[in-house]
């Protein structure tokens, strides 16, 4: 069973501004952060996916797990939700309809894993989960005797969306359908935190971006913006040759060694530790 051995009732220790009890009603108010990657980072991301025989979804999910490991100060049991197309039978592939299902994606991260090890594990986990994607979420919760309103993994969502911008309108039997930009379609917060990657293969620049949609019941706008910048910084360490850590292959060092401290924060830490304090008198050894 995919969930065996996981404490799925334990929430992740996210840097929230406010705590919300299970009886509080969600307001739906959202805070947003949208980050785009430059062409170099986007190309490196896609090249890595191709060379390691993983899908962009699996690679994006692996980066999210690595980020959550750092953001939660080392929690290794990571359980979140992902959307699945749920077209597991051939006859469903071209059928119009909403077959999307929500599934728990849980992994136990070994702190000694490199990012390459993590990606390999996520790939295997995703393939294993897809074998059981037909099983409804409500049945999973019922089997585990869980109340849907009290399950932490349903509060964190990950998704990867591929966009084709040249499709403006579709028509079916005289009915016209107009495309809505997905990265701007979320006006309410349905989850505490939702990370969604967007990939547009038709663009030459900014082909890859992500958006964070967080509930204002738990996160202020400033912390959401900071979380977005931290995730971008981690991705650039892994996929950008211009990273400050470019002397070390970030895909081979333990994922716990990846850094989400922003450069400006590192500068402040450096100044605070090594700068001379004005109210401290210099003392030295006296020789008589």
Q: What is the pLDDT of residues 235-271, one digit of tens each?
A: 999 997 654 444 357 788 899 999 999 988 887 777 7
What are the tens digits of pLDDT across the range 202-234? 887 778 999 999 999 999 999 999 999 999 999
- Residue 288 is predicted with a pLDDT of 45
| Alpha-carbon separation of residue 55 from 15, 90, 217, 281 (angstroms) | 30, 20, 34, 59
Helix (H, G, I), strand (E, B) or coil at 253: coil
Strand partners, 80: 105
Helix (H, G, I), strand (E, B) or coil at 239: helix
Average pLDDT, the chain: 81
- Residue 230 is predicted with a pLDDT of 97
The pair of three-digit structure tokens given for residue 170, joined into one six-digit string: 């579709």
- Residue 131 is predicted with a pLDDT of 77
DSSP 100: -
What are the tens digits of pLDDT across the range 15-73? 999 887 666 788 889 999 999 999 999 999 999 999 999 999 999 999 999 999 999 99
- Residue 23 is predicted with a pLDDT of 67
Global pTM reads 0.83
What are the tens digits of pLDDT across the range 115-129? 999 999 999 999 888
CATH 3.30.559.30 for domain 30-165+183-274, yes or no, is: yes
Helix (H) or strand (E) holding 141: helix 137-143
- Residue 149 is predicted with a pLDDT of 75
Domain definitions of the chain by residue range: 30-165+183-274
Question: How is the chain split among helix, strand and coil, in percent rounded to 5?
Answer: 35, 20, 45
The pair of three-digit structure tokens given for residue 136, joined into one six-digit string: 């409804």
What are the tens digits of pLDDT across the range 133-178? 777 778 888 888 887 777 888 899 999 998 876 655 555 555 665 6
- Residue 58 is predicted with a pLDDT of 96
pLDDT at 74 over 70: yes
- Residue 218 is predicted with a pLDDT of 94
What are the tens digits of pLDDT across the range 196-208? 999 998 887 778 9
Torsion 177-180-182-185 (CA) sign = negative
């Amino acid at each position: 069973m995919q969930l065996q051995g996981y404490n799925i009732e334990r929430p992740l220790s996210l840097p929230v501004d406010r705590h919300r009890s299970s009886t509080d009603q969600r307001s739906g108010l959202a805070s947003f952060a949208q980050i785009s990657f430059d062409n170099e980072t986007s190309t490196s991301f896609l090249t890595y996916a191709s060379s390691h025989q993983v899908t962009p979804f699996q690679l994006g999910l692996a980066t999210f797990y690595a980020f959550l490991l750092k953001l939660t100060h080392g929690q290794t049991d990571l359980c979140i939700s992902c959307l699945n197309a749920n077209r597991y039978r051939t006859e469903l592939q071209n059928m119009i309809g909403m077959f999307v299902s929500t599934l728990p994606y849980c992994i136990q991260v070994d702190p000694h894993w490199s990012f390459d090890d993590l990606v390999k594990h996520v790939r295997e986990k995703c393939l294993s989960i897809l074998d059981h994607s037909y099983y409804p979420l409500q049945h999973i919760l019922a089997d585990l005797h869980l109340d849907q309103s009290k399950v932490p993994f349903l509060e964190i969502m990950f998704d990867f969306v591929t966009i084709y911008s040249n499709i403006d309108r579709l028509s079916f039997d005289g009915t016209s359908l107009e495309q809505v930009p997905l990265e701007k379609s979320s006006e309410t917060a349905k989850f505490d935190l939702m990370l969604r990657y967007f990939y547009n293969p038709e663009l030459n620049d900014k082909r890859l971006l992500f958006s964070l949609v967080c509930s204002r019941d738990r996160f202020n706008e400033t912390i959401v913006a900071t979380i977005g910048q931290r995730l971008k910084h981690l991705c650039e360490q892994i996929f950008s040759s211009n990273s400050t850590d470019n002397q070390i292959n970030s895909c081979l060092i333990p994922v716990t060694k990846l850094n989400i401290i922003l450069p400006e924060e590192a500068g402040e830490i450096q100044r605070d530790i090594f700068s001379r304090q004005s109210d401290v008198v210099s003392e030295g050894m006296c020789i008589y």
